[in-house]
């Protein structure tokens, strides 16, 4: 009986380490998917707003991202959002960190104007 207790005292920390590591891994990939989805939605909405309303500001797009992330169960507490807008492209870059874990997400989308292309094609016919 004594040998079994000694073996378990060495084995249980390893088992607990594996369980906790897998839980942190699941949180990492969950948060990455949530942040990636929020960044994609932000870029898509920003592209549509820029097409319909003209030029939108970087602060407005940053607020759209923060609105999509707020209220979500996210382990990463420090997020930095960088928005850059060019003439025909919007880019959202997010870096998040929690202690030693870090992630970065980059989403880009072109500002398209399909209505004018469709009108031009119909006009040619």
Give the model confidence (pLDDT) of 11-57 as tens digits. 899 999 999 999 999 999 999 999 999 999 999 998 888 887 776 78
Domain count of the fold of the chain? 1
Predicted pLDDT of residue 34: 94
- Cα separation, 50 vs 66, whole angstroms: 18
User: How many angstroms separate the CA atoms of 2 and 112, rounded?
Assistant: 73
Q: How many CA atoms lie within 13 A of 36 on its CB side?
A: 9
Q: Which of 44, 32, 48 is nearest to 104 (CA)?
A: 32
**What is the domain-level CATH number for residue 64?**
3.30.1300
Share of the chain above pLDDT 70, in %: 97
Radius of gyration of the chain (CA): 23
Q: Which residue has the tokens 């960190």?
A: 97
Instruction: Domain of residue 55: give its range.
Output: 2-124
For the entire predicted model, the pTM comes to 0.79
């Amino acid at each position: 009986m004594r040998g079994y207790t000694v073996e378990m005292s060495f084995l249980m920390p390893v088992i607990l380490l594996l369980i906790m590591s897998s839980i942190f891994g699941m949180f990492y990939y969950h948060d990455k998917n949530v942040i990636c989805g929020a960044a994609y939605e932000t870029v898509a909405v920003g592209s549509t707003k820029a097409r319909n309303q003209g030029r939108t500001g970087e602060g407005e797009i940053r607020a759209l991202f923060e609105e999509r992330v707020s209220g979500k169960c996210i382990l990463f507490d420090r997020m930095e959002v960088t928005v850059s807008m060019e003439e025909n492209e919007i880019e959202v870059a997010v870096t998040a960190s929690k202690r030693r874990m870090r992630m970065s997400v980059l989403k880009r989308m072109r500002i398209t104007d399909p209505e004018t292309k469709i009108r031009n094609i119909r006009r040619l016919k």
